[in-house]
Amino acid sequence: MKLVFEVNGEARTAGVSPWKRLLDVLRDDLRLTGTKEGCGEGECGACTVMLDGEAVNSCLVAAGQCEGRVVTTVEGLARGDVLHAVQQALLACGGAQCGICTPGIAVCAAHVVDRGLVTGDEAAARAQVRELLAGNICRCTGYQLIVDAVIAAVREVSK
């Protein structure tokens, strides 16, 4: 098929099989390699992108499902050299170690922060972050500093 969709604010086309995974379309056809493959079965979340504003595992989405839709990858979070609040917080709080899960976590956390899904006091907010990001696995951090980062981004955005 000739896939026509919007990626990170730009109209893109790709001649691909409708069965091709969105993950592979992004990585191989569009050379957007920020989106990672960790498991290929929707468990680890390293391939998380936003599809029409919802966080999805791009390894479980077929190209044929993406016609005319809007995709945001980690490459689309920053505005030029200005990092998204979530990226800035991950950097400042030490929320990235080996970095392979970081693009997926940044995308999912940006979704959570931009949609205002985290509310309430510190304890409630931290519990919400843990629930909302439970589809993204990180093996390095023990999650603590990532939760700190997302909370910091929530506070920064709501200033």
Partner 1 sequence: MARPSVGTSLPRVDGVAKVTGRARYLDDLDAPGAWHGATVRSKIAHGVLEAIDRDPAFDWSQVVVATAADIPGRNVIALIQDDQPALVAIGAPVMHVDEAIALVAAPTRELAFAAMRAIVPRVRPLPAIFTVEDALAKRELLYGTDNIFKQFLIRKGHADDAAFEAAIAKAAHVIEGNYYTSPQEQMYIEPQAMMAEWKGGICNIVGSMQCPYYVHKAMKAFLGVERDGVVITQSVTGGGFGGKEEYPSMLAAHVATLAKVAKRPVKMVYDRDEDIAATTKRHPAFTKHRLAVDAAGEIIAIDVDCVMDGGAYLTLSPVVLSRGVLHAAGPYRCPVTRVRGRVVATNHPPHGAFRGFGAPQTTFAYERQIQKLARLRGEDPLALRKRLALRTGDTTSTGQVLGVSVGTDEVIGAIERAAGMPPARDGLRNGTPVKRGRGVAFYFHGAGFTGSGEQYLAGKATVAAIDGGRFEVRSSSTDIGQGAITIFTQIAATALDVEPARIVVIDPKTSLVPDSGPTVASRTCMVVGGLVEKASRELKAHLAANDGVREVTTQYEPPPGIAWDDATYTGAAYPCYGWAACLVDVSVDVDTYEVHVDRCVHAVDVGKAINPVIVKGQIDGGTLQALGWAVLENVLYKDGKVINANMTNCIVPTFADAPELETMIIETPYPYGPSGAKGVGEIPMDGPAAAVANAVEEALGGVAFDALPLSPETVMKAWRS
Stretch that binds partner 1, among 50-58, 63-71, 141-149, 151-159 (CB under 8 A): 141-149
C-beta pairs of 31-39 under 8 Å, 24+ apart in sequence: 32/7, 32/8, 32/73, 32/75, 34/73, 34/74, 34/75, 34/103, 35/73, 35/74, 35/103, 35/104, 36/100, 36/101, 36/103, 36/104, 38/100, 38/101, 38/104, 38/137
Is residue 146 a contact point for partner 1 (CB under 8 A)?
yes
CB of 129 to partner 1, least distance (A): 7
Beta carbon nearer to partner 1, 53 or 99: 99
CB of 19 to partner 1, least distance (A): 11
Rounded to the nearest 10 degrees, what angle do helices 102-114 and 122-132 cross at?
Answer: 130
Beta carbon nearer to partner 1, 71 or 147: 147
Is residue 126 a contact point for partner 1 (CB under 8 A)?
yes
Stretch that binds partner 1, among 60-68, 113-121, 133-141, 151-159 (CB under 8 A): 133-141
Task: Supply 101's token pair.
Answer: 């899960």
CB of 55 to partner 1, least distance (A): 14
Is residue 20 a contact point for partner 1 (CB under 8 A)?
no
Is residue 137 a contact point for partner 1 (CB under 8 A)?
yes
Q: Helix or strand or coil: residue 70?
A: strand
Is residue 36 a contact point for partner 1 (CB under 8 A)?
yes
Task: Supply 158's token pair.
Answer: 């709501």
Contact (Cβ atoms closer than 8 angstroms) between residue 49 and residue 26 = yes
- Contacting residues toward partner 1, per CB under 8 A: 27, 32-41, 43-44, 46, 73-75, 77-78, 83, 87, 90-94, 96-103, 106, 126, 129-131, 133-147
